[in-house]
Structure 1
Amino acid sequence: MRMLQREGLPMPPPHNLVFGHLILAANIQKSLPADAHGHYLADQIRQRYPSLGPTFYVDRWPFSEPMLMVTDPDVVAQSSTADHLLPKHPGIKTFLYPITEGYDLNCLDGETWKFWRRLFNPGFSARHMQTLVSTIVEEVAVFCDELRQRVEEEKMFSFEEHTLSVSIDIIGRVAFPWISALLHQRQWAAFGLEMGIWMLINPMRYFYMWNNRRIMDKYIDRDLDERYTTRQADAKSKTIVDLALADYKSEKGSSLDKGPMDAVFRKFTRSQMKVFIFAGHDAASTTMCYCWLLLSRNPQAMAKIRAEHDAVLGSDRDKAAAALSENPALLNRLTYTLAVIKETLRLFPVVSAARGGLKDFVLTDAQGQRFPTEDCLVWAVHHGIHNNPLWWPRVDEFVPERFLPDEERAEELRPRKHAWRPSKLKIVLALTVRDFDLEEAFTEWDRVNKPKGVKTVNGERAYQICDGSIQLESSHPVDGFPVRLFAR
């Protein structure tokens, strides 16, 4: 760090020879809620040192190697292109190993990653997802019934509890018995940068990890065998696993057509199923919560999205689900709905990206400043990118119009290239926003639970937290997003 400082590379002052930037980090933490997500750190440093620039080093030794925090979209792009790709940070693999045993796409690299990514890609193509619309609609109908029951109860409740449930059901089609074991396993996974060590030294940690993995593998293997048998009997079966298996057989030859499922395919597919549920349910659930939060705070946007649903799906709300099931292509016409989702993810991004630096791998900003990455954790902080006024006009406002097609958007709202790190969601909004009104209930929650200490970030009560052991993990709305719901 002293060498980098002598070379004039940016880092927040002062850098203490003994404590590095831990004193600064501690002071920032004191100003934030104790459970606030770690991705707020980069933007908090920007606010304290506005002349620092969007890319800078932070010294958190002994809790991590030097961190290169990147909130410049062009610099981030340099580290994540196919030709110039930094490897995933080792802590990602350390964290996921108890869950997936290291065979998932997040842990793989190089040609092995390319092979398995190619096999599973067809299951996430736009064409294949359209074939699943009717299935998703069925799960959302159950979600709507649960919300109607909450309306009748006339009580405050955790909205996230229900969005987590529907997310898991949509991803897995049914709530597999092994999902509870997977979610419990997350509590014992470790990135290697934790500031608290109790979880790491708990003598029961390895037993819990072994037992959770045993439960998951038992049920997943049974499910895989059922799917494999179904596919042999029904060549039209088109689940994600079916598509991947078909491609795998074509790669390996006809010798796999008979007998039990190939052991290598089973091992890697088992890991993918775990990570699909683990990562997917978090992202979808959190995005649903914040979409509803922002729409409830912005009546004009709510009116506009409802008008779009009237125009595309018909004014009879009871027929919307059937319309989508019969014609999934209608989703492509919900341009404002997609813009709402994208703007929500701009203001409340779900994840960031951590990569490991390499010798001679240097990032360069538009001013020609060079940033060595060797021995560094390179953190592409999506929250810092999405909330930086350098890249976004009206940065603190909810403006879905910035993500509309060019012909429907003011030129000054055009998103900067690389400045938005994407994700997707539509059907849930299409089948719920016309049926309910939502009011956030944090004031009521605080009155009942009497929390202590700071409970806002930049004035936002619905701040994001890390529900797990690491601060680079996906984020969640604090306190489960307490709400009251009303029928329209």
Structure 2
Amino acid sequence: MGNQTLLSLENSSGPIGNILLPNKVIMLIVTILAITTAAWVVRFIQYRNSYKEYASGIPCPPFSTLLGTLKSMGDQYAHAPMTAHPHGIMTMIYDKYNLKDMFILDNWPFFRWRQIIICDPHQVTDVGKNLAAQCTQNHSLPKSIVTGQYVGHITGKRSILLTEGLEWKKNRALFNQGFAIAHLTTLMPSLVDEVEIFRDVLGKLADSGEVYPIEEAAAFLTIDIMGHVVLDINLNSQTMKSELVEYFRNSISWTPKIVATNPLVNLNPLGPIMRKYYKWKMDGYINKVLDTRFAEKEGSATKGKKKPVIDTALDEYILQQEEDNVALGDRGLDQTFKQVSIDQMKTFLFAGHDTTSSTIAYTYHLLGKNPKCLAKARDELDRVFGKDTSRTGDMIKENPSIVNQLPYVYSCIKETLRRYPPADTARHGDDLVLEYEGRQYPTKDFMVMVCVHTIHHREDLFPSPYEFIPERFMPAPDNFQEIPKNAWRPFERGPRDCIGQELALLEMKIAMAMTLREFDINSDYETWDRKLGRKEPGGILNGTRGMFGDRAYQELIASAKPSDGMPARIKRRAHN
């Protein structure tokens, strides 16, 4: 058998028990494997070397041909919670390696695309800079497909958060009117009513003495407000279980993990099933609301100033049917229109409640840790509303513009959004070529991330960036500093900025106006950790249970949320 190799298959019988392969075949297989492996190694080395060429001249994290920048990322996660939002990790990298306006990451094979991390907010007129403006303002890169993979099961694929081109442009223009400040003031009574319920909830928590996740209470408030603004319905999630709210929160709980302590967590076979299930439940609920609302309108567009977002969509549809001369008796909602509308409603409900509730929680947290700032905010509220706190809600209803007479409270909110931005923007490179310091950087096949957290914590833009200084945002001459244009960007900038930012700020102002003088609210992680049996209650465990010296770090749970929901102890204040 000189020119053949015998392969024995144990426990086999019959003609396939022993297989004879000629030595030439064996050599051919070995050669193919060797060539394939060698080609892969060559391509791998070329790929890694192309990083060096692309990133030359830009300060970047340490890089190796074998691991790319994975070790640099791993070094930061070794001193941070595994659940931390990636934007905090980017800031840690920026600070540790003394980086500048942008840096490049190559984390393949754990991340499919190289990443351009932009930390520069300057204006388009600045020579050699304007990196954030280049990809979000004067040219808006398309949203990264990672966004859809991560939250698409919550918002739907036709969401303005995910769509591009004419579809996005048409829907954004249509719904802009529903979130204009002039329109939102017509909804002020509903907003105040919900905050009054929230105030009662805080009172009950204070009376119980219980340490409770304040973000969760704020989330029920903000989603009830979104129920009025978007669907014109009472969700009542603050006082009882709401079917739609339960669907939303369960859907969010099944969101894939970008970074996980257990690498198998995203391989759970139930994940895709549960995400589809809750999508189906949410779609079914909003579909019924659409049908009911359309039937109530009897084919006529909404009259009057008060118009929830759902009516904005229905009115446009009705007008289109009128232009097409569709007989009144034949009018109905086609499935395409329904799905597009459902996806927008889900987007507004999700984004509108999720990020606002986190900011409300963080505002309480920061004011609780900075009693002088809290005293200033309370003094301002006393001057504007008087010391009878029971009248605050009625005064806002009677004169909605009164909330614009709170520059210090507003500055506290803006400073909170600087310290804890709720989100960043992730884009996918296209034909755009970034111009920076005399060089060109193509963006094609890169993920481009404008890291708002890092921008907000640059010492040269915001001196003492880790301190809470609301005076930064006070009108001159009472301001701590002059804020560089475009440097504050918690809602992003450009055509794809947050459609609901005016509503979010309005909600926060009302919530602070109606609760800051009623309660002392302080985060209490020590009691919470002890309740859960954790070691070293209240400690950050060398950074693995906190970031930047703060136990209330931002977790990635669909958006940037306070860890453990910000457990807080609430106490009633004695009225003067």
Selected match of 1:420 from 483, 488, 493: 488
CA distance in 2, matches of 1:349, 1:143: 23
Selected match of 2:75 from 27, 40, 52: 27
Summarize the alignment of residues 31-110 of structure 1 with structure 2, pairs less than 5 Å apart: 31-50=79-98, 52-64=99-111, 65-74=113-122, 75-81=131-137, 83-110=138-165
Q: Which one is further off, 188-197 or 198-207?
A: 188-197
Tell me the equivalent position of 1:400. Answer: 470
Listed one character per residue, the Cα deviations across residues 317-345 of structure 1 (whole Å, up to 9, x for unaligned) are 10110111111111222222221111100
Amino acid at match of 1:375: D
CA distance in 2, matches of 1:208, 1:345: 33
Q: Is the 8 A contact 1:11 1:58 kept in 2?
A: no
Listed one character per residue, the Cα deviations across residues 245-273 of structure 1 (whole Å, up to 9, x for unaligned) are 32344456444683223433322110011
Selected match of 2:268 from 178, 189, 202: 202
Displacement of 1:103 after TM fit?
0.7
Larger radius of gyration: 2
Alignment partner of 2:104: what SS? strand
Listed one character per residue, the Cα deviations across residues 214-245 of structure 1 (whole Å, up to 9, x for unaligned) are 21122111111222233337634611111233
Q: Is the 8 A contact 2:378 2:517 kept in 1?
A: yes
Could you say which structure has the greater relative contact order, defined with CA pairs below 8 angstroms and 6 or more residues apart? 1
> Over the residues paired in the alignment, what is the CA RMSD in angstroms?
2.2
CA distance in 1, matches of 2:215, 2:282: 24
Q: Which one is further off, 255-264 or 25-34?
A: 255-264
CA distance in 2, matches of 1:41, 1:212: 31
Report the CA distance shift for 1:165/1:256 in structure 2 as closer, same or farther (over 3 A): farther
Q: Is the 8 A contact 1:94 1:191 kept in 2?
A: no
Amino acid at match of 1:21: T
Percent of aligned pairs sharing the same letter: 32
Amino acid at match of 1:182: F
Tell me the equivalent position of 1:239. Answer: 308
Displacement of 1:99 after TM fit?
2.7
Listed one character per residue, the Cα deviations across residues 191-233 of structure 1 (whole Å, up to 9, x for unaligned) are 8888965344322233323321221122111111222233337
CA distance in 2, matches of 1:160, 1:325: 25
Amino acid at match of 1:32: A
Displacement of 1:47 after TM fit?
2.0
Q: Is the 8 A contact 1:103 1:271 kept in 2?
A: yes
Tell me the equivalent position of 1:272. Answer: 344
Amino acid at match of 1:400: P
CA distance in 2, matches of 1:379, 1:212: 29
Alignment partner of 2:290: what SS? helix
> In the alignment, does 2:527 pair up with 1:455?
no
Alignment partner of 1:485: what SS? strand
Report the CA distance shift for 1:392/1:252 in structure 2 as closer, same or farther (over 3 A): farther
Structure 2 regions of 5+ residues with no counterpart? 1-47, 123-130, 229-233, 236-241, 491-500, 536-540
Tell me the equivalent position of 1:372. Answer: 442
CA distance in 1, matches of 2:357, 2:181: 21
Listed one character per residue, the Cα deviations across residues 5-32 of structure 1 (whole Å, up to 9, x for unaligned) are 2351425343121211111211111111
Q: Is the 8 A contact 1:392 1:415 kept in 2?
A: yes
Tell me the equivalent position of 2:517. Answer: 434
> In the alignment, does 2:554 pair up with 1:464?
yes
Q: Which one is further off, 119-128 or 223-232?
A: 223-232
CA distance in 1, matches of 2:326, 2:449: 42
Selected match of 1:2 from 49, 72, 97: 49
Displacement of 1:447 after TM fit?
2.8
CA distance in 1, matches of 2:551, 2:400: 37
Which aligned segments of 4 or more residues in structure 1 are displaced greater than 6 angstroms?
Answer: 191-195
Number of aligned positions between the proteins: 477
Selected match of 2:278 from 205, 212, 215: 212
CA distance in 1, matches of 2:368, 2:260: 36
Summarize the alignment of residues 303-314 of structure 1 with structure 2, pairs less than 5 Å apart: 303-314=375-386
Listed one character per residue, the Cα deviations across residues 53-105 of structure 1 (whole Å, up to 9, x for unaligned) are 13100111112211111111131121101x41111111112233323331110
Alignment partner of 2:139: what SS? coil
Q: Is the 8 A contact 1:63 1:194 kept in 2?
A: no
Q: Which one is further off, 250-259 or 118-127?
A: 250-259
Alignment partner of 2:340: what SS? helix
Q: Is the 8 A contact 1:346 1:383 kept in 2?
A: yes
Q: TM-score when scaled to structure 1?
A: 0.92
Tell me the equivalent position of 2:368. Answer: 296
Structure 1 regions of 5+ residues with no counterpart? 468-472
CA distance in 2, matches of 1:192, 1:448: 28
Alignment partner of 2:215: what SS? helix
Tell me the equivalent position of 1:382. Answer: 452
Alignment partner of 1:377: what SS? strand
Report the CA distance shift for 1:297/1:414 in structure 2 as closer, same or farther (over 3 A): same
CA distance in 2, matches of 1:23, 1:426: 43
Q: Is the 8 A contact 1:363 1:371 kept in 2?
A: yes
Q: Which one is further off, 255-264 or 374-383?
A: 255-264
Tell me the equivalent position of 1:445. Answer: 528
Alignment partner of 2:515: what SS? coil
CA distance in 2, matches of 1:13, 1:224: 51
Amino acid at match of 2:459: P
Report the CA distance shift for 1:130/1:198 in structure 2 as closer, same or farther (over 3 A): same
Summarize the alignment of residues 345-360 of structure 1 with structure 2, pairs less than 5 Å apart: 345-359=417-431
Q: Is the 8 A contact 1:355 1:377 kept in 2?
A: yes
Q: Is the 8 A contact 1:119 1:248 kept in 2?
A: no
Report the CA distance shift for 1:449/1:207 in structure 2 as closer, same or farther (over 3 A): closer
CA distance in 2, matches of 1:112, 1:191: 29
Report the CA distance shift for 1:111/1:192 in structure 2 as closer, same or farther (over 3 A): farther
Amino acid at match of 1:401: E
CA distance in 1, matches of 2:461, 2:326: 52
Listed one character per residue, the Cα deviations across residues 426-463 of structure 1 (whole Å, up to 9, x for unaligned) are 11111100100122211222333343552221211111
> In the alignment, does 2:168 pair up with 1:113?
yes
Q: Is the 8 A contact 1:9 1:56 kept in 2?
A: no
Summarize the alignment of residues 134-173 of structure 1 with structure 2, pairs less than 5 Å apart: 134-173=189-228
Amino acid at match of 2:309: I
Tell me the equivalent position of 1:344. Answer: 416
Displacement of 1:178 after TM fit?
2.4
Report the CA distance shift for 1:474/1:62 in structure 2 as closer, same or farther (over 3 A): same
Amino acid at match of 2:134: Q
